[in-house]
Amino acid sequence: MKRNWELDELIEHFTILPNEMKLVENKLAENKIGFAVLLKFFQNEARFPAQKFEVPKAVISYIAKQIFCESELYAQYDWNGRTIKAHRVQIREFFEFREVTVQDSQDVAEWLRQHVLHHNQEWEQVMDVVYRRFRELKVEPPTPDRVERLIRSTIHTYEEQFFQATLQKLPPTTPAKLDALIESTALLDDIDEAPGEESGRISFHEQKADPGHPGLDSLLKEVHKLRTLRHLELPDDLFRDTPPSKY
């Protein structure tokens, strides 16, 4: 949750509605403000705070004023006892959520592999997508550490599957040619040369380099690079089902 909130944002996101107030009114002292903060935090984030003071002071203060309670009482709210566990159950039921299961995490990981990672692996965006998916399923997500492990494991599995699938598409002679190129030199003696063109070697670094200033030398070098790529015999449809990167 972000740390700074304007008044109009607090009103929009943290105003306690009449049906919510009924849940808050029968609580006492620190339990009252603790419950109210958990309720509104969960409503906005679809999860509970990982730590007591993850909730910004401005949010606590705004909620406290609505229930005629001192905001300082929130610090006394028992974060580990039976009361907060009961409050979490009540809040989940109110929003029709349930606790996460191992199967839920596996389902989200599979959904991530099939629908997200092939076109986006930017960490913060993937994190947002995962939390949004749990919200759509009306499932309270795992702890932040477990969510992070889920994402890292899923990305690793996706990459391994992608690499293996790509390797299976390559002609038998291509891996050795790729190895030679990556090892800094690639023999081009068996490439058909145009009249007057020299055969030779090209490094992997040179293959990736920008063309440089326009001119005959840069043109010939780019032709040389293109012939090197053709020499690798990469299939035309090697990445046919892979969307272009957004970055």
Mean pLDDT for back-to-back runs of 10 residues, the chain (247 residues): 94 97 93 97 96 95 96 95 96 97 97 90 94 97 96 94 82 80 55 48 71 81 77 74 57
Q: pLDDT value at position 42? A: 98
3-class secondary structure, 176? helix
Q: pLDDT value at position 157? A: 93
Q: What angle is formed at CA 105 by the lines to CA 104 and CA 109, rounded to 5 degrees? A: 120
Q: What DSSP letter does each residue of 1-59 carry, written as one string?
A: --S---HHHHHHHHPPPHHHHHHHHT--HHHHHHHHHHHHHHHHHSS--SSGGGS-HHH
Domain ranges in the chain are 7-96, 99-169, 174-231
Number of Cβ atoms within 10 Å of the Cβ of 118: 13
Position 106: which residue type? Q
Comparing C-alpha atoms, which of 212, 245, 204, 209 is closest to residue 228? 204
